[in-house]
Amino acid sequence: MRKKFDTEMSVRPHEVDLNGHVHQSVYFDYVLFARWDQMGRCYKMPMEEFFKRGYSWTTQSARIEFQKPLYLGDTIIVRTWIEEIKQKSVRVRFQILKKKTEKITTEGELVYVLISAKTGRPEIIPEDILEKYSVQQD
């Protein structure tokens, strides 16, 4: 199994709705931040390096299950890992946990496609990136 990485963050006041729960759309911002953070810190290939090499990532699809609400005041852990690598895309799974209880509140997955920043067309994931993305759980 590929290695799982964690990013910690805090729920911010503008992210909660009328009922005091974090808005559904905000969960995707959390996961986006976690991936961005982990690309540099954990996979050792920050987003800027993709840009420099003429690449970008685009999201093809997403699914999410909201199991327990998140509230203002919660510190959360966004855990992500690569579930599957295809020629031009990766399938990333994620879980969002409350830091205090370590209970899972949310689960889901995203499919990201590597594209040429210039043409927007899908690109084959190069060998050296494949290798970085293949780091295994101890």
**Where does this chain bind its own copies (CB under 8 A)?**
9-10, 12-14, 16-21, 23-29, 32-33, 36-37, 47-48, 56, 58-66, 69, 72-73, 117
Minimum distance from residue 21 beta carbon to its own copies (Å): 8
**CB nearer to its own copies: pick between 68 and 131:** 68
> Smallest Cα–Cα separation from 73: which of 16, 138, 125?
16
**CB nearer to its own copies: pick between 3 and 56:** 56
d(CA 52, CA 76): 32
**CB nearer to its own copies: pick between 67 and 134:** 67
From residue 54, how far is each of 57, 58, 104 by CA, in Å? 11, 13, 36
Minimum distance from residue 132 beta carbon to its own copies (Å): 19
Minimum distance from residue 72 beta carbon to its own copies (Å): 8
Minimum distance from residue 85 beta carbon to its own copies (Å): 20
Cβ within 8 Å of residue 47, ≥6 positions away: 36, 39, 40
Amino acid code (one letter) for 90? V
d(CA 74, CA 94): 18
SS3 content of the chain, % helix, strand, coil (to 5): 20, 45, 35
**CB nearer to its own copies: pick between 10 and 134:** 10
